[in-house]
Structure 1
Amino acid sequence: MSTIALSYCPITVDDVDAALPFYRDGLGLEIVNDVSYDGHRWVSFGFAGQPGLAAVVSDPSAGRSPEDAEALQRLIVKGSGPGPYVFTASDLDAVFERLRASGAEVLQEPIAQDWGPRDCAFRDPAGNHIRINQA
């Protein structure tokens, strides 16, 4: 039987430069690729212990038609973009404190959810809903 794995997850932001500290410094992800092409930018963040998996941050127009880019930009500005994006951390409290100290918008402090995980939630600088579960 053939195996299948996730290679990357696209995360659209209105300002790639503003998103870098959140994903790199706050979440602790490593930049593995930073590509600019035709006025757009894609930054791939790698996950420790998960080679071949990346979160790819880019602007709404990167690789999309003008109509799709405009529609996506409107959703992002309203804070209604795709998501939530759910990450898992071995030390939820440390990640929470690092993100809060960076000035990220806190949506929910770490709590044990009725459905199981202990988690917290933030908005990235573009307004994307980011949830982080305790591993």
Structure 2
Amino acid sequence: MAVTRIVANLSAPDPLALAQFYQEVFDMDLPLDMGWISFLANNSTQKIELHTASEGGSGTELPVISIGVDDLDATEAAVRAARAEIVYGPIKEDWGLRRFYFRDPAGNLVNVVDS
């Protein structure tokens, strides 16, 4: 048996509106909207990871999802342009990771990591 994918489900009172936010900020495709759930995707290949944690590191709250990006500064600018609140960072952590947290329009805490 092999895991072929892991999917994050973000809670939202308006799934399409939240999907459109992520589509705008992270330049993703919206291949399917069923009203109660919206799917976002891109064509990149990624490794599968599942983390378990008691906190987000550096004493922060545990985010619901981490998103790796190739340009943290551009992503921060896109998050700010979309009027989402950045609540931590950007910071280079002691363990070498550069990241920031933001709250999406549904209140989910999201970790954005320079990958």
Q: Considering the TM-score relative to the shorter chain, is it more than 0.5? A: yes
- Greater helix proportion: 1
> What corresponds to 2:31 in structure 1?
32
* Structure 2: distance between partners of 1:89 and 1:4: 23
> What corresponds to 1:107 in structure 2?
87
Q: How does 1:63-74 map to 2 (within 5 A)?
A: none
Identify the match of residue 49 of structure 1 among 20, 41, 44.
44
* Structure 2: distance between partners of 1:108 and 1:23: 19
Q: Label 1:48 to 1:18 Cα distance change in 2 as closer, same or farther (>3 A).
A: same
- What is the CA distance between 1:7 and its match in structure 2? 4.0
Question: Is 2:29 aligned against 1:5?
Answer: no
- The alignment partner of 2:8 has SS state of strand
- The alignment partner of 1:21 has SS state of helix
> What corresponds to 2:51 in structure 1?
none
- What is the CA distance between 1:129 and its match in structure 2? 0.3
Q: Label 1:111 to 1:48 Cα distance change in 2 as closer, same or farther (>3 A).
A: farther
* Structure 2: distance between partners of 1:16 and 1:121: 21
* Structure 1: distance between partners of 2:112 and 2:43: 16
Percent of paired sites with the same residue: 26
State the number of aligned residues: 101
* Structure 2: distance between partners of 1:21 and 1:109: 24
User: In structure 1, what residue type is equivalent to 2:104?
Assistant: D
Task: Give structure 1 stretches of 5+ with no counterpart.
Answer: 54-81
CA RMSD between the two structures: 2.1
TM-score, scaled to structure 2: 0.76
- Greater strand proportion: 1
TM-score, scaled to structure 1: 0.66
Task: Give structure 2 stretches of 5+ with no counterpart.
Answer: 49-61
* Structure 1: distance between partners of 2:6 and 2:66: 16
